Amino acid sequence: MSHEYDQVEVPESGEKITYDEDADELDVPENPIIPILHGDGIGRDVGPAAQKVLTAAAEATGHEINWMRVYAGQAARDRYGEDVNLPDDTVNAIREHRVAIKGPLTTPVGAGYRSLNVALRQTLDLFANVRPTYYLDGVPSPMKSPEEMDMVTFRENTEDVYAGIEWEAGTEEVEQVRDFVEDEMGFDDVMHDGPIGIGIKPITEKGSKRLVREALDYAIENDRDKVTLVHKGNIMKFTEGQFGEWGMEVAEEEYPDEEVFAAPDSLWEEQDEVDIPEDAVMVEERLADAMLQWMQLRTDEFDVLAMPNLNGDYLSDAAGAQIGGLGIAPGANFGAGRCLAEPVHGSAPKRAGQDQANPSAIILSGRLMFEYMGWDDAATLIRDAVEESISNGEVTYDLERQIEGGEKLSTTEFSDNVVENIEELA
């Protein structure tokens, strides 16, 4: 289905990426149309920089990208009107063309959305937030051995407390919920007198299983040894606990043992005694609070993590800190035959328009997008080229101030440097 667009220019050349639902496969032409949303704040700087680098990597490996500029946040308000933050054009473009990349967005007060980023994920049913965390040579890190980190987090994207089902203290609605919980459900011992805010934490079987399935498929396709289900099921037994149970059901019931092996009692550190079939992906469970410790003390023991929304937010940021911070942390949102790549960091408005911000995170998010498309050659080239710049100390201000003898580059200069590396490495 092709949409009519109001304020978006569709490239005259290029072809659409399509999806075979039955085979669960993308058909990616050599000259795809890819929507790009530069974003707010520093997105105005890093978005064009990433576009330049991704174009160079694609061309160096025999591909051609036809960029389709779309808008949200301030750019949308400038183009569509002050009350339009997420135009139908943008949603329809990403839905139709399936693979896209965006920079950071700022949700203005009173915009009608809790978060524009969350709105895009939920509207397009991008149920898995995927964040690879790996160390690039030369990046300053607070850890003694940051190179031990090579982990991918799969965070459920549509449920949990991020579903936004909550009621404000002092409203008629919250009092109705309080009365129901106290009088009908018998939980009066935790409902203290006075103002109260109440939220609902939905965790569904469908949402949990499709997230774990996505993580397992990724582990199998990328030769990862282990998938760890991370939750707080010892306390929240019927939400986070159910996530763990449903996740293990996927491992036990949907995959043969020689491909995926569900380790018994792994939550209690007994997996070393388990006889795992050769080449099988092992699935284990860990408590979320303990996992924050194990990520630092036993970093190299973890490959792929799958978890509910809130835990995934905390843990992926903590993992990013171990390899140098969110300024270089890539990410993407996966749905059924759909990918929206985006950096982990925010819009940093005080740095906007100064040509100073580090574009590495959105560039490396583009690398993840290329992997999703099956362009592994271009993806590898991007990582190697970015690492070459950083290891040479040719970096933006955020890294230069931590590197003795480093050379400070602007956003534009850094992206040009990476493009030169691509041309030399190709």
Which pLDDT belongs to residue 274?
A: 63
HSE-CB for 131 with a 13 A CA cutoff: 32
The answer to whether 367 is a known ligand-binding residue is: no
In CATH, the number for domain 1-141+325-426 is 3.40.718.10
Return the H-helix or E-strand segment holding 153.
strand 150-156
State the pLDDT confidence band at 107, using cuts at 50, 70 and 90. confident
Cβ contacts of 96 within 8 Å, gap of 6 or more: 1, 2, 3, 16
Which pLDDT belongs to residue 309?
A: 94
The answer to whether 44 is a known ligand-binding residue is: no
What digits encode the pLDDT tens for the residues 311-350? 999 999 999 999 988 788 899 999 999 999 999 888 988 8
The answer to whether 71 is a known ligand-binding residue is: no
Give strand ranges (E) for 158-303.
166-167, 198-199, 226-231, 260-262, 281-287
* C-alpha 87, offset from chain centre: 22
Question: What does the alpha-carbon distance between residue 28 and residue 376 come to, in Å, rounded to a whole number?
Answer: 13
Q: Which two tokens stand for residue 157?
A: 């994207």
Beta-strand pair 260-262/281-287: parallel
In CATH, the number for domain 142-153+204-322 is 3.40.718.10
pTM of the model: 0.92
Is pLDDT above 60 for 111?
no
Question: What does the alpha-carbon distance between residue 232 and residue 230 come to, in Å, rounded to a whole number?
Answer: 7
The answer to whether 92 is a known ligand-binding residue is: no
Is pLDDT above 60 for 117?
yes
Which pLDDT belongs to residue 325?
A: 83
Percent of all residues in the chain with a pLDDT value above 90, rounded to a whole number: 78
Are residues 352 and 44 in contact, defined by beta-carbon separation less than 8 angstroms? yes
The answer to whether 358 is a known ligand-binding residue is: yes
- The DSSP bridge partners found for residue 334 are 128, 339
Catalytic annotation, pick one of 89, 160, 303, 313? 313
Q: Which two tokens stand for residue 244?
A: 């763990």
Q: Which residue has the tokens 């993992």?
A: 319
Mean pLDDT of 176-183: 91
The answer to whether 31 is a known ligand-binding residue is: no
Which pLDDT belongs to residue 1?
A: 59
Phi-psi map region of 353: left, alpha, beta (phi>0 left; psi -120 to 50 alpha) = left
* C-alpha 102, offset from chain centre: 11
The answer to whether 135 is a known ligand-binding residue is: no
The answer to whether 121 is a known ligand-binding residue is: yes
Catalytic annotation on 232?
yes
Per-domain boundaries in the chain? 1-141+325-426, 142-153+204-322
Neighbours of 13 (CB within 10 A): 8
State the pLDDT confidence band at 112, using cuts at 50, 70 and 90. low
Question: What does the alpha-carbon distance between residue 335 and residue 339 come to, in Å, rounded to a whole number?
Answer: 6
Catalytic annotation, pick one of 162, 218, 255, 372? 162
State the pLDDT confidence band at 265, using cuts at 50, 70 and 90. low
- The DSSP bridge partners found for residue 48 are none
Q: Which amino acid is at 312?
A: G
- 288: helix, coil or strand? helix
- pLDDT, mean over the chain: 92
The answer to whether 106 is a known ligand-binding residue is: yes
Percent of all residues in the chain with a pLDDT value above 70, rounded to a whole number: 95
Catalytic annotation on 162?
yes
Q: Which two tokens stand for residue 345?
A: 């960091």
Catalytic annotation, pick one of 232, 255, 372, 398? 232
Catalytic annotation, pick one of 24, 289, 300, 376? 289
Q: Which residue has the higher pLDDT, 74 or 268?
A: 74
Beta-strand pair 99-102/66-69: unpaired
Which pLDDT belongs to residue 267?
A: 45
Catalytic annotation on 313?
yes
